[in-house]
Amino acid sequence: MSQQFEINQYRINDEPYYQEQANEVSLYEAAYAARLPVMLKGPTGCGKSRFVEHMAWRLGKPLITVACNEDMTASDLVGRYLLDANGTRWLDGPLTLAARHGAICYLDEIVEARQDTTVVIHPLTDHRRTLPLDKKGELVAAHSDFQLVISYNPGYQSLMKDLKQSTKQRFAAMEFDYPSAVLESAIVCKETGIDAGTASRLVKIGEVARNLKGHGLDEGISTRLLVYAATLINGGIAPRDACRMALVRPITDDKDIRDTLDHAIDAVFV
Amino acid sequence: MTTMQDTRRRLVCNFSRVQSVFDDCLAHAQMKLSDAGVDAYVDGAQVICKMGRGEEPVLVFLEEMPLVAAQVGEEIIAEVVEFTRKLARTPNSKAIPPFLQSLAAAARHLESHQLFREYLQLVWQTMERTSPKVHGIDSMYTSECLPDFLKSAPFLLGQLSLGGLKNWVDYGIKGYPNDPERQRDYFLLQSADSRAVLQRERHGTLLTDHERQLDLYLRGLWSNEAVFLPYSLAFDQLRKPAPYLDDNGIHLPDVYDDFPPSPTCGKISGINRYRALLAHVSAHRRWTSPIMADNFSPFQRISIEVFEDSRVEWLAMQEYPGLREQWQALHPMPQEVEHEEGVSYIRHRLAMLSRALLDPGHGYTHPSILKYVTQFNALMAAGNTDTKAMIDLGIHFISESRLRSDSSAKVYFDDTEIDYRDDNRLMWRFFEDGDEEVYEARPRKAQPEEQGDEAKMPPRLYPEWDYLAQHYNPDWVSLYEHLHPGGDAAYIDQLLAKHSALAKKLKKIIDMLKPQQKVRVRYQEEGSELDLDVAIRSLIDFKSGAQPDSRINMSHKNDGRSIAVSLLLDLSASLGDVPEGCTQSKLELSQEAVSLLAWAVEQMGDPFAIGGFHSDTRHEVRYLHFKGYKEQWGDEVKARLAAMDAGFSTRMGAALRHAGHYLGHQQADKKLLLVLTDGEPADIDSQDPRHLIEDAKIAVRELDQQGIYTYCINLDPKADAYVADIFGKHYAVIDNIQRLPERLPQLFMALTK
């Protein structure tokens, strides 16, 4: 019973706003119907995590999110023994929890985890749909609602940060990108309630930064940052200052790029 | 009030030309100066007249001095007279007229009394330092350069601050101490060096310093790119070149000063002027389609151009409304003026039209202008305009507003130059002879093949540090890159086979140094995993009532190695020597050592490049690539090493900078530049032995700032005298050269352990 309670806290009750760009919702639904593992690719802040939340809500399934990082080990995903007064006690990791209780397990930024860590998801992502807990000597068979979703950002230009072929080839993949200007300003409007004119100007600055990607910028300005800027403007900050604070300063330390973006802000907001 | 007659009596001078202009000059002076000033002025003229250097100095003095005194204060008159008197006592009296002539410009640009005095001092120092000396004593020889300098001074003062002018003079004096002819060229602004130094000292925003920013601007805001081709505004006085766009790229001024503040806007910085220009050009590139020019008269064409310029700007401002403010600030604001007879106001009218199209608050009352601005705005608001739509507007405007005086030769130019706009040459297409027929071009004779692609590469220019003057000589050294020609790779294999015993020894060390990807760290309070052995021991302790060890976790850490290495070989002639007590030349020993090192580094897996250099004066430093960072240690590289040869001199600074340039672009945590040399930096065009040593020292310091660790391996037993000056403590002198093949890889490993 306590386990039932535990999983309910992962349910999403209110609809997370998501603006569909193409037919990704129906594609995802089809993948879920077949319980295929899904990989979401796309630059940071373009709406991957929001999409997963939205789909979990839509399908009525709990969602367990794991933010991956370099120090994460296999036992952080699967579970580990803890020591208490009576000896050792097993604690399920997020992946095991999701597999036991039929949740969608979302591994965010999977490439940040080390490659030997990511191998533990392999048995869950093929026909076996099982998770062996070797330390505990248990074989967990995945719940019929369980699905694994991973996301990663192929923009990292690093040899070290890539998925193994054997991992990649277990997923159906969906590619995300920043929405078109019209959609993006609609998103900014909807998220923050800002007027359409300001939203489209913010999107214009976003485009400028995205043009500079690869010329000193690793990533353009994300939709998320545009939303931040709009939020600041709503809070009574002057648009130019809000843009500098939310759009420019976070993404670059390069003076030339900063000056160019600052100039773009001055050119767009009069 | 002193009357004109009184002062007249006091100028006793027999030159008739002086007498003929004196009245006018005096009247002019009385307008500008106080009574005391006029007295000083006339007294001064008297003194100069009596110096006996002819009438010219007097005439110049009479003409220039009132302006100078009005600008920087009247007490300056006495100082100038005193200075002239001193100058007349030196052998340089023929410099007096140009000196006096330069004063008006100096006063205009320097404005303050203090700076003006410094200018006088500068002139005096220039004279002293450019006069030839015999045995260190001022001689009776004339300074050839002083009149030249004084002739250039008015122009230079317009371009440079006084500090910049001092540096420029300093450079000229130190640069050509034994070469008066070239020194004269320098001071007459005729040599390339002189212009280069002028550019360096200029005030304003230099294009070269901001190219990346402008590149980013084009890319970011306009999603296009272009080559920037700077032209200089400094040397064309008659016809100022205008920016333009052609197939080669965007031609634009090499420097922009800040634009003075206008009533509507604060001052526009140089970089924003560049941006305004690029925005205009980019708008043309995006929205202008070329039209045939031949059916239009010149007036019609410029009128159509005004409408087209305004159209693309209007479209650009829809996207970036902030451009309006900047363009308005840069756009001249011609006032409506009374028309004089016989003067063409066509430019003025079109500039007014252009202003009115750009600036809604123009306030003009000219009926045609108002009418066409309304028409233009209606057309633009309707959307979907193109270049052709502007033809009608242009033609009708010019015919409607036409005046009879329009074709007069005398044109009213004030406030009509819009300098951020290009000359629209790409907007027009001309129908030219031969356009209708296409001739079969005769097959061209095949060009003689050059030695290879790399032979055609332009030189890369590097500055060199001048320790006497404490500044960089800009673009001083020309460095040519080549791929080293190949030889017989088997030779290197033989060398390696000869050292197989040494290789085995090295292999052991390498295996120890090789990075182990994961290292387990035990006994951690907090870690990624439970360390079962320790945990159970702890649990037993706990159960048995003893204090348990709480450090029961373990974690892993990466033990990676990220070092990029560049080896720079000095290939100068001395490398061919056979040192005393050796059977092999330094060259052969170096080949052995480098082969072993390359083999060892390959085993370690670090990115490793090998380059060599030698020089033949500053105009030709050759940098030869043996191995690139990503290249495998294979037969091609071995073949190049086998063909290694010695010759020419050692100009180390430029080679260090160049190797650092490549190393700086490597992605690695640690960057190591190894320099293998057998002597001090020297070249045949450098007489001062310290010069190249100091330059190399500065180059090493520059590399240090880029995070590159420089280490020198020196084969010269007497190297201690200079090598520490250049490399600080980062060097090793190898006395026993025969042990070089063994020592070099060992040194490398010790450095990177």
Vertex A66 angle, CA A65 and A69, to 5°:
155
Residue A98 to chain B, least CA–CA distance (Å): 21
Q: What is the pLDDT of residue B749?
A: 78
Which residue has better confidence, B283 or B749? B283
The verdict on a CB contact (< 8 Å) between A267 and B535 is: no
* Closest-approach residue (CA) in chain A for B319: A268
Last-in-domain residue among B158, B174, B201: B201
Q: Same domain for B529 and B593?
A: no
Q: From B323, which residue of chain A is nearest by alpha-carbon distance? A: A267
Asked whether the predicted pLDDT for residue B390 surpasses 60, the reply is yes
pLDDT at residue B315 is higher than 60 = yes
Please tell me which of the candidates A81, A208, A270 has its beta carbon nearest to residue B530.
A81
pLDDT of residue B513: 64
Residue A81: φ, ψ to 5°: -85, 135
Chain B neighbors of A181, CB-CB under 8 A: none
Q: Which residues of A touch B323 (CB under 8 A)?
A: 267
| Chain B residues within 8 Å of chain A (Cβ atoms) | 212-213, 215-217, 219-221, 223, 271-272, 275, 279, 319-325, 528-530, 535, 538-539, 552, 555-556
Question: Within this chain, do residues B67 and B150 fall inside the same structural domain, yes or no?
Answer: yes
Examine the pLDDT at A2 and tell me if it is beyond 70.
no
- The predicted-structure confidence for B89-121, as pLDDT tens digits, reads as follows 888 888 888 898 888 888 888 878 888 888 988
H/E stretch holding B297 reads none
Predicted local distance difference test score (pLDDT) of residue B452: 46
**pLDDT the model gives residue B277:** 93
Q: How many folded domains does chain B comprise?
A: 4
Residue in A closest to B222 by C-alpha: A208
- Show which residues on chain A lie within 8 Å of chain B, measured between beta carbons: 71-73, 75-76, 80-81, 83, 87-88, 204, 208-209, 211-212, 215-216, 256-257, 259-261, 263-264, 266-270
- In this structure, what CATH number is given to the domain that contains residue B701? 3.40.50.410
CB-nearest to A211 from B223, B279, B319 is B223
B729: DSSP letter: T
Over the stretch B589-636, which tens digit does the pLDDT of each residue have? Answer: 888 888 888 888 887 778 889 999 999 888 889 999 999 888 888 888
Average pLDDT over residues B15-25: 83
Structure tokens at B701: 């310091």
B contact test, residue of A117, A207, A208 with most B CBs within 10 A = A208
Residue type, B146: L
The reply to whether residue A259 touches residue B213, judged by beta carbons under 8 angstroms, is yes
| Mean pLDDT value of segment B115-140 | 80
**What kind and span of H or E run contains B381?**
helix B367-382
- Does residue B608 sit in the same domain as residue B748? yes
Report ipTM (2 d.p.). Answer: 0.77
Over range B47-51, report the average pLDDT: 84
CA–centroid distance for B160 within its chain: 15
B284 and B342 within one domain: yes
Look at B528 and A75 and tell me if their CB atoms are within 8 Å: yes
Q: What is the mean pLDDT of chain B?
A: 83
- Judge if B73 and B213 occupy the same domain: no
Phi and psi at residue B691, to the nearest 5°: -55, -55
Q: Is residue B306 part of a domain?
A: yes
B341 and B414 belong to one structural domain: yes
3-state secondary structure B471-500: EEEEEEEEEEEEECCCCCHHHHHHHHHHCH
Do the chains contact at A267 and B530, CB–CB below 8 Å? no
So what's the pLDDT on residue A17?
93
For residues B675 and B711, the answer to whether their CB atoms sit within 8 Å is: yes
In this structure, the answer to whether residues B84 and B165 fall within a common structural domain is yes
- Confidence class of residue B468 from pLDDT cuts 50, 70 and 90? confident
Is residue A244 within 8 A of residue A265, CB to CB? The reply is: yes
- How does pLDDT run across B183-206, given as a tens digit for each residue? 888 888 888 888 888 877 777 787
From the CA of B322, how many Å to the nearest CA of chain A?
4
B84 with B213, same domain? no
| Model pLDDT, residue A26 | 95
The CATH H-level superfamily of A2-175 is P-loop containing nucleotide triphosphate hydrolases (3.40.50.300)
Residue-range definition of the domain harbouring residue B531: 517-558
Split at pLDDT 50, 70, 90, the class of B236 is: low
Q: Are residues B287 and B420 in the same domain?
A: yes
Q: How far is CA B264 from CA A60, A161, B329, B336, B359, in A?
A: 60, 53, 7, 18, 11
Altogether, the residues listed in chain A come to a count of 270
Q: Which of A119-133, A157-171, B19-33, B725-739 has the highest mean pLDDT?
A: A119-133
The closest alpha carbon to A209, from A45, A48, A83, A78, belongs to A45
Residues B528, A73: C-beta atoms closer than 8 Å: yes
- Specify whether B386 is located in the same domain as B535: no
Is B479 a domain residue? no
| B581 has pLDDT over 90 | no
Question: Could B325 and A270 be called an inter-chain contact, meaning their C-beta atoms sit closer than 8 Å?
Answer: yes
Last residue of a domain, one of B429, B457, B476: B429
Q: Are B61 and B21 in contact (CB under 8 A)?
A: no
| Model pLDDT for residues B395-446, shown as the tens digit of each residue | 999 888 888 888 888 888 888 888 899 988 888 888 765 555 555 445 455 4
* B133 in a structural domain: yes
Q: In this structure, are B104 and B229 located in the same domain?
A: no
Which CA distances in Å does B94 have to A215, B48, B58? 58, 13, 13
Q: Do A257 and B216 touch (CB under 8 A)?
A: yes
Residue B451: pLDDT band with limits 50, 70, 90: very low
The two tokens of residue B320 are 């970036």
In a domain, B673, yes or no: yes
Asked which of B187-196, B556-565, B732-741 is least confident by mean pLDDT, the reply is B556-565
Residue type present at position A194: I
Whole-angstrom distance, CA of residue B488 vs CA of residue B499: 18
Residues of chain B positioned with their CB less than 8 A from the CB of A261: 220
CB-defined contacts A:B, below 8 A? 73
Q: Which of A76, A81, A264 sits opposite B220 (nearest CB)?
A: A264
Has residue B173 been placed in a domain? yes
For residue B667, the one-letter residue type is Q
Domain locations along chain A: 2-175, 181-268
Instruction: Look up the pTM and report it.
Output: 0.61
Based on the fold, state whether residues B542 and B578 are members of the same structural domain.
Answer: no
Q: Which residue of A has its CA nearest to B539?
A: A87
The confidence band for B156, taking pLDDT boundaries of 50, 70 and 90, is confident
Across chain A, how many H-helices and E-strands are there? 12, 9
User: pLDDT-derived band of residue A8, with 50, 70 and 90 as boundaries?
Assistant: confident
